[in-house]
Amino acid sequence: MTTRYDDLHNAVELPRDVTRVVSIVPSLTESIAATHVSLIVGATDWCTHPADLDVTRVRGTKNPDLDRIAELAPDVVVANAEENRGPDLDALRDRGIAVWITAPTTVPESLDSLERMLSAITGDVPAWLHEARAVWSTPYDGMRRRAVIPIWRRPWMALGRDTFAGDLLSRIGIDNVLKESGERYPRFDPADLPEYDVAVLPDEPYAFNPADGPEAFGKPARCVSGRHLTWYGPSLVEARELLSGQLA
């Protein structure tokens, strides 16, 4: 066994060669699959990338099937501090299962987090991660716009302070008007917002689309890929160009 440290500085005991991984975070599933797909033995029902991933499903990020996960006898379960519930992760540890937690809130932190996790679990730093670093290494120097970025309606909720997606948007010239909020995901009234230029409407977690969302705002609204906005993994290679185009 070897001791490695996750994003929260938790000591994680791993076998020298990890061969069985359960992922309960869609973006981490995609990241490991794009590096060494054979390692994944279980993933959530929401792990949609790669589309042909054929592994045991263990329900969702908020309600993982702990018994099913234990039956899979993983060397490690990969999780996220925000997407997964602490009591579920503690329950896995109580069963003697190693848990690796990621917790990035910026694009650079996500790249470092992925390198830390993948090098510890797969033994590799994949080419796609080097490519993602290169894509995001150039500062944005164009016109800036102010945006509200809803993530839910009924009730309306948006990106607030200290979020990965908010940081990503800032790196392509989109500044979150609610970034000084005391909450990471504050509720808001579309009729009572600070001055803004555009509403950015991702298709997840709420499935905003041209027929559901833009009508609530008095400013231009753009529907964007939620995966490219909120996932950190191989999607970061194309996220900058894709989102910049969708927000043009």
pLDDT at 239: 98
Tell me which residues of the chain have a pLDDT lower than 50. none
Q: pLDDT (tens digit, 9 = 90+) per residue, 93-111? A: 999 999 999 999 999 999 9
In the chain the domains, ranked by start, together with CATH numbers, are 2-134 (3.40.50.1980), 145-246 (3.40.50.1980)
Tell me if 29 sits within 8 A of 43, measured CB to CB: yes
Phi, then psi, of 3 in degrees rounded to 5: -100, 125
Tell me if 18 sits within 8 A of 35, measured CB to CB: no
CA dist., res. 186 & res. 215, Å (int): 20
Q: pLDDT (tens digit, 9 = 90+) per residue, 25-54? A: 999 999 999 999 999 999 999 999 999 999
pLDDT at 240: 98
CA dist., res. 68 & res. 160, Å (int): 35
pLDDT at 38: 97
CA-based radius of gyration for the chain: 19
pLDDT at 129: 98
pTM check: above 0.85:
yes
SS3 111: helix
Instruction: Choose among 6, 20, 190: nearest CA to 80.
Output: 6
Tell me if 200 sits within 8 A of 167, measured CB to CB: no
pLDDT at 247: 97
| CA 47 vs CA 56, 65, 82, 86, 247: distances in Å | 11, 15, 16, 20, 26
Query: Cβ of 37: how many Cβ atoms within 10 Å?
Result: 15
Beta-strand ranges (E) seen in 96-238 are: 99-102, 145-148, 150-152, 157-158, 174-176, 198-202, 221-224
pLDDT at 151: 98
